[in-house]
Structure 1
């Protein structure tokens, strides 16, 4: 029987009960799932012939008897996919008869406290299977002398083993990037940085745990960086996250204050004047000005709603419409400080503001028809004059050929053409990107006339706008991250199977730029291929000089 599609109505009775923590009644049958791939495995040499492996975001694969530690970077489905209540039990117990043996329970999943909370809430994962990490704290996760997990908070890497520090990923609540380090006297020590999904900012590059890897004065090298390459495309140079949040907040401030002549007409056309509809309303109260919808995933995009709420001083409501889960419970589990005093249970708001923000499923803001259904099915038209929905996504922003940039140099599946003309043209474009941040104002989405606004002329009370808000790094931010860290090997983690040659081309360009910037300065470790080729390349001296002038302050 087909499951009933979630409706646009906000109803408490459609919220499912929390998952039980009781053990499953059976273990899953041995399936033919694929083994954990190399991309999701981090291997550390212990001796000249032995090594120890841990995994990252690898839950949709067959059990591996050698794998004892599973890291989870954050609570998004493409990273936790495969986890269920039975997932932990089938990796610890041979039979359901063993479930009563308390001594057999042990941590399997290593993650942030927020991510652990969500695992228990959504999947009923017993907390005994979860090891929660604090941000910016050094942990020993296993000892080489015993060759077994030994999770412990430490002040230094004092004995041989594997250590990890989790840093804020600037992605969704609870997301982390992880610096793994091994210490061994019988094999080479390794340093791996796994970025999960992340949005690079200046503070991240300058993090105290990465300071020794920071160029140009690095004293150490990252052997591997597992890089979130979601937007590794020269076209994806969207504005900084803070700027997009600020402009979205300013839009609603200007609309509410009415201090920008013509803005209401630009947004809603030449329709009715403010407050005219309140006379025909069934409610005894005047209608409020705006219902503001902000699309979100199960977690993520909260910063946009917070920025608007702070600017216009309005409350936030968490909607369960078009959702099979309890989003309010999920938000509570994230323990976002601002939400403690600004989330309310009344979807119509309170007397403190003429507006309210609804955090809604991304499906609600995908099309104007959906926004209309949400507005109509909940009878919000009886309480609000207008509704504006924001669809936050980095995919809403891209440069095109009219800008004069030649993307084919970066997006080609052919090896990079290292002729002087092609090479200098590509380097010049990257240089311009590094020195010039992408501008943005709220006028851009208003003027955009995208497909999401089709049919808007038929109504003058509903609008939907796509804002280039993303929680993944833009091309420019990825470039800074790579240029200012001493990295031996970059491993793309997104789209690497679809376009490996494109990924490689971007990385080659980055390595050439790092070589240009290094000049004669020694570094602990360099990409020998790039440095060997560099003297043969005819690099424009002006480009070379500009890249050498680039500092983190240009970020």
Structure 2
């Protein structure tokens, strides 16, 4: 073998760009301070502006850029993570109720809530040795040391508490305070607020109740009855702290000169608008999360000019952008039911023949089998197994799956089940949450047997091709195909041309109803008996509905409560709408029915 000389070796490593010697040499100007260029300063300013638009997730404590992703989207991902525990069917009352990290849920919640508001800290030096001495493949142990950093993870390692053992809370933002009162709305993640005498909760979504836990002692909690049921059952808050209020009537709040009315928010079960009426006749309306509808503006306590103007309106601005002009809920539900009807082969019921037609008819009528009240023939599973069933075999062998959040999207799967006259399968934890709604019709539909129901409810994030394919395999041969619906307003975006027009359009043009209101659904995935369908169904107000809601009310000040990092852009729309209203008499915008514009 030929031996390389030193000269040949030196030649082998030489490069026209650098050599080994020059690579390790310090440049002559390395210690000189470089003057930043104008472009560098622009970048630094842009980074500072982005840092100012961050908000902290109340679940995983990560800081989110609200200009790139809505806080609601991120929190919904955290909520979906919690639903993974549904597969284990572990009731919350068990003492050894374990989470992903192996600790009890309450301890993990206390860890999260004790986390100081600061940038993620590095592991202490003492942990580095144990970190790198872990056996190969010990992923779980490594994760326990490093801590989860995925945005979908809702459990993070506890950080060193600040001196004194007390957590440093961020101050309560202005949009969570009700003017002229000592009350806050959805402000549970800011610790004890010194001047707050009552904490109001609009609905049971974690980005609104974040910080509320079993050890809560900061003050009374006011909410609807359904939300109170969930707070006591799921969070185990002391019932003495929870004060459910009746709907649609003014109720005095003890120790204050304020009356509060709860109005259905059309968002999720138990969600409400809070109308605060002060003794000096000032009125403040907080929408929480809501899907605006004409019936809200027609409510006896809100309708104008029968009632005084609103001094302030705390508005859910999740979709305050012209690209989100998605259709009404009723239109989406009708489109879903039409597609299901086509997939399962359900035909409209034939008209019952009249007495005269029965006499003329020559065929012998078939005897009607008496229905056993203990075993309803309306169940999809029984219809499938009934040999005398005249419906096509494929009609009862199509599995309908609907994605949902912890609470929400109920109207979609309930209306499908009504049409099919079948049961609804949901895991045990989901059933417990649904039962808190105190809806007898829904409770009669629910079942814990997946083979007994033709409609199944799963977490929204599981509406994926791979997961749904495996889901269908698990339920064969009872079901031969599957249609999964993913209801979310984020699945819809207006055409670019329409969006650009709506940006500069006056209010009367924004609130004009669309010419074509038909919703046409097409699967975005179709393979091996599995179809995935996106539905532009949202439980937040669309851009046009927000405009219609604002146009129907006399409001002095509008305060956005979502995506506050985009306040200048949102204020441009709101200020323009307020200005366009000044020249006209305030009245409810025309509507096809009281449920939508």
| TM-score bucket of the superposed structures, by smaller chain | 0.5 to 0.7
Q: Aligned to 2:260, what secondary structure does the other structure show?
A: strand
User: Partners in 1 of 2:557 and 2:537 — Cα distance?
Assistant: 29
User: Partners in 2 of 1:552 and 1:517 — Cα distance?
Assistant: 18
Distance of aligned partners of 1:439 and 1:294 in 2 relative to their CA distance in 1, 3 Å threshold:
farther
The aligned runs of 1:438-449 (5 Å cut-off) are: 439=516, 441=518, 443-446=520-523, 449=524
The structure 1 residue matched to 2:505, chosen from 403, 421, 426, is 426
The structure 1 residue matched to 2:467, chosen from 353, 356, 370, is 370
Distance of aligned partners of 1:442 and 1:232 in 2 relative to their CA distance in 1, 3 Å threshold:
closer
The aligned runs of 1:95-494 (5 Å cut-off) are: 108-142=220-254, 148=255, 161-184=257-280, 189-211=281-303, 214=304, 217=305, 220-257=308-345, 288-319=396-427, 326-349=429-452, 356-365=454-463, 367-376=464-473, 379-401=474-496, 403-406=497-500, 410=503, 426-427=505-506, 430-437=507-514, 439=516, 441=518, 443-446=520-523, 449=524, 453=525, 456=526, 459-494=527-562
User: Partners in 2 of 1:466 and 1:553 — Cα distance?
Assistant: 25
1:439, distance to aligned residue in structure 2 (A): 4.2
User: Partners in 2 of 1:313 and 1:134 — Cα distance?
Assistant: 32
- Residue pair 1:9, 1:374 contacting (<8 A) in 2 also: no
1:131, distance to aligned residue in structure 2 (A): 0.3
1:249, distance to aligned residue in structure 2 (A): 1.1
Q: After superposition, give the CA deviation of every residue in 1:185-231 in whole Å (9 maximum; x if it has no partner).
A: xxxx42100000001112111111112xx2xx455110000000001
Q: Aligned to 1:406, what secondary structure does the other structure show?
A: helix
Q: Aligned to 1:210, what secondary structure does the other structure show?
A: coil
Q: After superposition, give the CA deviation of every residue in 1:423-442 in whole Å (9 maximum; x if it has no partner).
A: xx622xx5344222374556
Please say if 1:508 is aligned against 2:596: no
User: Partners in 1 of 2:289 and 2:299 — Cα distance?
Assistant: 17
1:395, distance to aligned residue in structure 2 (A): 1.0
Distance of aligned partners of 1:178 and 1:501 in 2 relative to their CA distance in 1, 3 Å threshold:
same
Q: Aligned to 2:455, what secondary structure does the other structure show?
A: strand
Distance of aligned partners of 1:224 and 1:404 in 2 relative to their CA distance in 1, 3 Å threshold:
closer
- Residue pair 2:83, 2:406 contacting (<8 A) in 1 also: no
1:338, distance to aligned residue in structure 2 (A): 2.3
Q: What is the TM-score with the length of structure 1 in the denominator?
A: 0.68
In the alignment, which residue of structure 2 is the partner of 1:74?
203
User: Partners in 2 of 1:122 and 1:309 — Cα distance?
Assistant: 26
Q: After superposition, give the CA deviation of every residue in 1:482-503 in whole Å (9 maximum; x if it has no partner).
A: 1111100000100122x11111
In the alignment, which residue of structure 2 is the partner of 1:85?
214
Q: After superposition, give the CA deviation of every residue in 1:10-55 in whole Å (9 maximum; x if it has no partner).
A: 85x53233278xxx999974211112222111132xxxxxxx4111
1:515, distance to aligned residue in structure 2 (A): 2.0
- Residue pair 2:198, 2:221 contacting (<8 A) in 1 also: yes
Task: Note the residue ranges of structure 1 that are not aligned, 5 or more in a row.
Answer: 45-51, 92-106, 143-147, 150-160, 261-277, 279-285, 321-325, 351-355, 411-424, 524-547
User: Partners in 1 of 2:206 and 2:85 — Cα distance?
Assistant: 25
Task: Note the residue ranges of structure 2 that are not aligned, 5 or more in a row.
Answer: 1-80, 96-105, 115-164, 349-384, 386-392
Q: Aligned to 2:406, what secondary structure does the other structure show?
A: coil
User: Partners in 2 of 1:65 and 1:191 — Cα distance?
Assistant: 24
Matched residue count: 406
RMSD: 2.9
Q: What is the TM-score with the length of structure 2 in the denominator?
A: 0.63
The aligned runs of 1:536-547 (5 Å cut-off) are: none
1:138, distance to aligned residue in structure 2 (A): 1.2
Distance of aligned partners of 1:253 and 1:121 in 2 relative to their CA distance in 1, 3 Å threshold:
same
- Residue pair 1:69, 1:109 contacting (<8 A) in 2 also: yes
Distance of aligned partners of 1:6 and 1:64 in 2 relative to their CA distance in 1, 3 Å threshold:
closer
Structure having the higher Rg: 2
1:110, distance to aligned residue in structure 2 (A): 0.5
